[in-house]
Structure 1
């Protein structure tokens, strides 16, 4: 079967074109993920959707097909899914990695997964992983074992889905972002019951929350965060969206720091600063507030009773253990 019928649905002209149903989106993405899928048709679909604007049903259908294409998840499943697909041009160091490690230290396995193609080397998520002791999985087959061993792991997109990685990379040829970026945030490769997601553009907060509800996710928090990541600016009280017990929910982040400092101004622009903050050899109240406020949002999403401040104070003993 070709993708031509799915191009026609979107492009039949004024008064006749329409969006996909969730089932049609699932069928279209299933074909797009095939190695023999027509590249011109894929490009047409992605750009027509960008012009029209994606719906929650379309994102959910695409995500269902993408999930179905993944290898079965072996071993320990994550309690929390933490996608990281932001470009991050305007952000500093990825302080949210420390928040993920803090959540994992409380016994909630965290799966980070993603691709950050436009980040400079100093702000790169992957460049910071070794200093923080967060292992990088080579496949889904090893990710579960890494979660069992250390409670947190990072799974690169190109390792667990080369085809989705290819679709994401079409941005370089098309010159524009596509809905694939949003679909990857919904991917949840370890099928965690809870997830946190960052966005750069506010309208995507409700789009992702509505799509997650259609997908049957139980608990979700979506935040307009630093550079599009799930990372809270601790000096701002930001509106957040998502799900609680499978139902639509909204709330506020609260404010844990004073002043108007930018995220990019927190601590030196060196990945080692992340490890130094964790180890206590760097004292930066604003960076610490970013980590704790982000971790508290993740813990609240999980329905966890622990508080980030308590975990932070005990992190030395946890690391030694």
Structure 2
């Protein structure tokens, strides 16, 4: 279909806008990834789509189109961690420490990174993974190598300077063909959206009210476990495990983030163990987070 019809569908205002079908969404995403339309039209669609706003059906179509471009490298016994590509601003990443805690369990953590996307302007997973050695059970995949077409849209998105629907669907490309996945979520209404988009793509799928939208728990929050379409909500409080970590509200530099990972405080190490226990529960190595916690002591 003529791409302008998609712009018209999302960019003519409340009375003129309409939701796109699954097949239309697949087609428009393919056209964007193939760069068969001008950059200005891609930017116009992404802005209008965000304001319309997006539907779950549209997200599913875009995800299905994207899957055809991803060059997969299977990693057995793996958990895909869905991080936002706009990074973390105020706190260090904890996944390098979580990987160390999980080394004996032989659970592999899958990390995906790329250049910074809008709109937070934080430190990215790529910044961490390319500036420090990772444990052998932490696998880093650069999107520029396995999904270049999506990576090449970054410049347009940065010029636009705003979050778009791509921020929602890009975190879980399943490059390692993982059976399990967990991603961070800011707002509870998005839990159901993610469940409808991804629940049939993994053996078990989870979401967590993680720090700065990541799958990393730093303070009391909710974990949602999805088994098929059934969703179980669990409250997780670090204080229950004797953890008294105080997260930061001030911006940190990449060097400060790396330093806190390389020379962690006792509380940060305990927090890493709690996140590891959560991951063991997600991949069904533990029947509960409490059991996972005990396994790691």
The TM-score with structure 2 as length reference comes to 0.82
Uncovered stretches (5+) of structure 1, i.e. residues with no partner: 136-149, 278-283, 314-321
1:177 matches 2:160 = no
* Aligned-pair Cα RMSD in Å: 3.0
Q: Which residue is 2:231 aligned to?
A: 248
Say whether the 8 Å CA contact 2:87–2:125 is kept in structure 1: no
The alignment status of 1:30 with 2:11, answered yes or no, reads: no
CA distance in 1, matches of 2:235, 2:104: 25
Change in 2 beyond 3 A, CA 1:302/1:52? same
Per the alignment, residue 19 of structure 1 pairs with 19
* Alpha-carbon offset, residue 55 of structure 1: 2.0
Could you tell me how far apart the structure 2 residues matched to 1:160 and 1:302 are? 25
The answer as to whether partners of 1:195 and 1:220 remain within 8 angstroms in 2 is: yes
1:219 aligns with 2:204: yes
For residues 198-236 of structure 1, what are the alpha-carbon distances to aligned partners after superposition, in whole Å with 9 as ceiling and x for unaligned?
Answer: 1344443332222113x53331221232222111014x2
| Separation in structure 2 between the aligned mates of residue 299 and residue 100 of structure 1, nearest angstrom | 12
- The answer on 1:194 being equivalent to 2:175 is no
Task: State the alpha-carbon separation in 1 of the partners of residues 189 and 168 from structure 2.
Answer: 12
CA distance in 2, matches of 1:243, 1:66: 23
Distance 1:169 1:199, change over 3 A: farther
Task: Give the CA deviation at 1:19.
Answer: 1.4
Following superposition of structure 1 onto structure 2, how do residues 51-62 of structure 1 map, counting pairs within 5 Å? 51-62=51-62
Contact 1:186 / 1:208 at 8 angstroms: preserved in 2?
no
Q: CA deviation at 1:16?
A: 4.2
What is the distance in 1 between the residues matched to 2:130 and 2:15?
Answer: 54
**Most deviating of 225-234 and 242-251:** 242-251
2:218 to 227, 233, 242: 233
- Summarize the Cα distance change of 1:157–1:130 in structure 2 as closer, same or farther, 3 Å threshold: closer
- Determine if the alignment matches structure 1 residue 290 to structure 2 residue 271: yes
* Preserved CA contact (<8 Å) 1:128 1:274: no
5+ residue gaps, structure 2, are none
Q: Match for residue 65 of structure 1?
A: 65
Aligned-pair CA distance for 1:153? 0.9
Q: Which residue of 147, 151, 157 corresponds with 2:137?
A: 151
Matched, 1:87 2:55: no
Question: Residues 86-125 of structure 1 correspond to what in structure 2 (within 5 A)?
Answer: 86-115=85-114, 117=116, 125=125
Cα drift, residue 112 of structure 1: 0.6
Structure 1 Cα separation of the partners of residues 163 and 131 of structure 2? 31
Moved more, 62-71 or 89-98: 89-98
SS in structure 1 of the partner of residue 152 of structure 2: helix
Deviation at 1:21, TM superposition (A): 2.5
Q: Secondary structure at the match of 2:263?
A: helix
Superposed displacement of residue 79, structure 1:
2.2
Q: What's the TM-score once normalised by structure 1's chain length?
A: 0.76
Contact 1:30 1:66 in 2 (8 A): yes
Count of paired positions: 285
TM superposition shift of 1:94: 0.7
Distance 2:104 2:26 in 1: 37
1:81 positional shift: 0.9
